[in-house]
Structure formats: structure tokens, C-alpha cells
Amino acid sequence: MDNGSTRRTTGSTVRPLVDLSDLPRLLTKPEVGDLLRISPSGVDRLLSSGRLPCYHLGRRVLVPRDALETLLARPFNAAVLR
């Protein structure tokens, strides 16, 4: 049964089902939370643990789209959010 959360393979390449290339190069914390479907505190944990790099511009925290793509390309581990 395909619930839409699996990844498609083309040859030896595994790619996520979501194409992030349409997103802005820098994403806000709420945008990251919406994309990952996690709470604001879950985003904060990813940022503070260093698993998701970010830029601090004044009070704003911006996450590079490439960093999000890298995070999503890793094997899934629910413990990442704890």
C-alpha cells in the first residue's frame, strides 16, 4: 500500500517525493515546520542540535533550502526530533 510517504527510485538515485526547488532559497522557522509537519519546538530542536543549519539575521532565523534537502535525504530517524 502506498501512503504517499515513500520515496521514488530512478536507477540508483533515491529522491524525495516533494520537489523543493520551487521554494525560496531561505526559509523561515514556521515554513520549515509546515513543510516537515512538526511543531515550532521540533524545529528549534533540529536547529539547536545542529542537524539543520541556519543563519541568524538580527532576530530572524533562516534555514537554507539546501540544508532542508540534505536533512530529508538522510535515512529517517524519529529520534532526530527528540
pLDDT along the chain (82 residues), means of 10: 49 63 94 94 96 96 95 73 57
What pLDDT, on a 0 to 100 scale, did the predictor assign at position 11? 57
Q: How many angstroms separate the CA atoms of 9 and 25, rounded? A: 25
Q: 533550502: which residue's cell?
A: 65
What pLDDT, on a 0 to 100 scale, did the predictor assign at position 24? 95
Domain boundaries, the chain: 23-81
Q: For the domain with range 23-81, which CATH number is right: 3.40.50, 3.90.105, 2.50.20, 3.30.70?
A: 3.90.105
What pLDDT, on a 0 to 100 scale, did the predictor assign at position 78? 60
